[in-house]
């Protein structure tokens, strides 16, 4: 976890500097969150805070949860991670267990706060992992369905074309990170989830 310390330290400063702002929807997770540079404009009029950090795994998000998320006292949380864990060779079951550990921290520190898990995306760069991605999403979705106040945000399905392959226009040239069209799609899906805001 030492690898993330510099960026996490900068995020802690950001959290402290905006501590007077309350009732925010916190976007937390890996680079798909961190690189969402138009978040404020995309959800104009809604108080949001981006505390994503690059390259983060679901395990790392759990590790830094008390330092980054709890101090904000968010109105709700939008969470995206798991992608990098699978890319690092973790199994779907491990990602599920990391998610369970994170939700245990949620229930301990922020039991009344709505939590929205954004499905692990079907990127071209990780297409060789697609069955593992599907299984991880399935395990997490099944747990969420048993948890009041938790929501599954399905960005996976609309990111596929009619033949069931990733829509390239939604991704940057690396086939992993989202393009502006990809973020526009995420925005559209999230606005259909009133619990987020």
Q: For 178-195, write each residue's pLDDT tens digit.
A: 999 999 999 999 999 999
Domains located in the chain, CATH noted: 2-196 (3.40.50.1110)
Of residues 12, 37, 122, 33, the one with CA closest to residue 81: 33
pLDDT at 3 over 80: no
Percent of the chain with pLDDT over 70: 98
**In this structure, are residues 155 and 185 in contact, taking their beta carbons and an 8 Å threshold?**
yes
Give the pLDDT of residue 80: 98
- Averaged pLDDT score across all residues of the chain: 95
Quickly count: other Cβ atoms within 10 Å of residue 43's Cβ. 19
pLDDT higher than 90, residue 172:
yes
What pLDDT was estimated at residue 1?
67
Q: What is the pTM of this model?
A: 0.96
Residue 18: its pLDDT value, please? 84
Phi, psi of 49 (to 5 degrees): -140, 130
**58 has a pLDDT exceeding 70:** yes
Query: What is the model's pLDDT at position 163?
Result: 97
**Angle subtended by helix axes 92-109 and 130-144, to nearest 10:** 30
% of the chain with per-residue pLDDT over 90: 90
Neighbour order of strands in the sheet with 150-153: 48-50, 25-29, 76-80, 115-118, 150-153
Residue 142 in this model has a pLDDT that exceeds 70: yes
pLDDT value at residue 20? 81
> Which pLDDT tens digit goes with each residue over 18-29?
878 888 999 999
Residue range 71-106, pLDDT digits in tens: 999 999 999 999 999 999 999 999 999 999 999 999
* Lowest mean pLDDT, pick from 19-23, 43-47, 163-167: 19-23
3-state SS of 147-175?
Answer: CCCEEEECCCHHHECCCCCECHHHECCCC
* Best CA proximity match to 110, nearest among 142, 78, 71: 71
**pLDDT confidence of residue 55:** 86
Least confident of 1-15, 29-43, 163-177: 1-15
Cβ(4)–Cβ(23) under 8 Å? no
């Amino acid at each position: 976890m030492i690898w993330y310390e510099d960026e996490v330290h900068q995020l802690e400063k950001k959290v402290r500097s905006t501590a007077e702002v309350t009732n925010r929807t916190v976007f937390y997770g890996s680079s798909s969150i961190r690189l969402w540079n138009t978040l404020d404009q995309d959800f104009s009029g809604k108080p949001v805070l981006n505390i994503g950090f690059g390259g983060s795994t679901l395990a790392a998000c759990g590790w830094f949860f008390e330092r980054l998320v709890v101090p904000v006292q968010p109105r709700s949380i939008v969470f995206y991670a798991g992608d990098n864990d699978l890319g690092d060779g973790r199994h779907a079951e491990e990602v599920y267990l990391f998610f369970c550990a994170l939700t245990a921290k949620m229930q301990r520190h922020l039991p009344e706060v709505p939590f929205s898990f954004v499905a692990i995306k079907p990127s071209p760069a990780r297409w060789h992992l697609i069955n593992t991605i599907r299984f991880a999403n399935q395990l997490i979705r099944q747990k969420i369905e048993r948890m009041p106040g938790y929501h599954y945000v399905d960005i996976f399905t609309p990111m596929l074309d009619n033949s069931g392959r990733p829509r390239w226009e939604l991704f940057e040239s690396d086939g992993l990170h989202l393009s502006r069209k990809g973020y526009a799609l995420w925005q559209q899906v999230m606005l259909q989830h009133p619990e987020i805001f």
